[in-house]
Each structure stands twice: as C-alpha cells, then as structure tokens.
Amino acid sequence: MHIGHVHLKVGDLERSVAFYRDVLGFELRARMPGAAFLGDDGYHHHIGLNTWASAGGSPPPPRSTGLFHLAIVYPTRRELAVALRRILDAGVPLTGASDHGVSEAIYFNDPDLNGIEIYWDRPREEWPENDDGTVAMFTAPLDLEALLAA
C-alpha cells in the first residue's frame, strides 16, 4: 500500500505554482481552469493545487482541524541538502529541523501556510530499535550546517 498525491486548496494559484515549481523543484505537468498539477520524474502529478473554492482565501485559523503537513521524501541526503539550499536561498523561513533516527527532516510552510516536511530516510539497517524490535524513533535537533556540507 502507498499514498498517491496531495491536492491542496490555495488562495493564489500562480503564487503556489511558483513556490512548488521554483522553490521545491516540481515540474508543472498540467493546467485546467483554476487548477495546476505538478510532478517529478515524469509522473502526471504528485501535487494538485486549486482555487475552485478558495480563490483569494486565507489560511485556516490556528488550532483548527485540517492538514498538519505533507511530506516529500528525497532519495539521498545530498538531494535533501540541495533542496534545503533552494529553500534558504528563496528566503523561506524554517519552522523546524529534526533528526528522527530513521530520517532527517526539515519543516516549513508554503505561501498558504500548509505545513511541509522534506526528508530523507536512512537505510533501514541503520534505524534504531527498541528491545522488542519496534522502531525507536526520536526527535533531536538536526545539524543543518552538517547537512548543507553534504
């Protein structure tokens, strides 16, 4: 089993297309009235954006229900570092950066304040385990300078 794509309501379609294309590196794959679809590696779309019921809208208020964050996995630590450099160069503020034992993750928001996590998974044989064999995930500060040096 796996999860396919995410489709987000946004307030400004062009602003969001520019963010996901220029900052995160996705390719614009298709458009239709009020919507755009972006993907990677030739896939039809990983991210759908639309203004069908949200054009000019504002982000949801704090402490409301909805999406916590979407997560984008990068295949290598080096590719995560390249993505982090693009995010920092674009002036996007980070909301967090964590080492989870199984992965290294960076957190920030898109222009509509949708939470985004970008991360890479360490090889499974390196994942920490509890005595009973379950995964021993944790949250520790991520050394961003070491990551960028990768």
> pLDDT tens digits, residue range 54-106?
999 998 888 888 888 999 999 999 999 999 999 999 999 999 999 999 999 99
What's the pTM value of the predicted model, to 2 decimals? 0.90
Contact status, residue 48 vs residue 39, Cβ threshold 8 Å: no
The closest of 108, 104, 113 to 144, measured between CA atoms, is 104
Contact between residue 70 and residue 117 where contact means Cβ atoms under 8 Å apart: yes
Which domains does the chain show, CATH number per domain? 1-55 (3.10.180.10), 68-150 (3.10.180.10)
